[in-house]
């Protein structure tokens, strides 16, 4: 999967979790939680969806890597490149 594919996958997961959010103007360098109304449970739902849909394990110690869209893509790219 490419970086753009990962970005689209993350957007789709977020749409499922917070369907009323406008995700069209996400700044890839700003923390997602500052741009979207995501609480801790929503964040865990994102992690669980990544595991369920893409079989990607995100260790708790790595949660900070999912702060921005760009950092999420950079973290997931080596884990999802074979998809």
DSSP-assigned letters across all residues of 30-83: SBHHHHS---HHHHHHHHHHHHHHH-----GGGGGGGSBHHHHHHHHHHHHTT-
CATH superfamily, with its number, for domain 3-80: ACP-like (1.10.1200.10)
**What percent of the chain is modeled with pLDDT above 90?**
96
Give the domain ranges of the chain. Answer: 3-80
Q: What is the pLDDT of residues 44-69, one digit of tens each?
A: 999 999 999 999 999 999 999 999 99
């Amino acid at each position: 999967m490419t970086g753009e594919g990962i970005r689209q996958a993350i957007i789709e997961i977020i749409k499922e979790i917070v369907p009323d959010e406008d995700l069209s103007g996400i700044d890839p360098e700003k923390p997602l939680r500052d741009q979207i109304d995501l609480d801790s449970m929503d964040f865990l739902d994102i992690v669980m969806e990544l595991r369920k849909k893409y079989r990607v394990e995100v260790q708790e110690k790595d949660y900070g890597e999912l702060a921005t869209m760009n950092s999420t893509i950079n973290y997931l790219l080596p884990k999802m490149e074979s998809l």
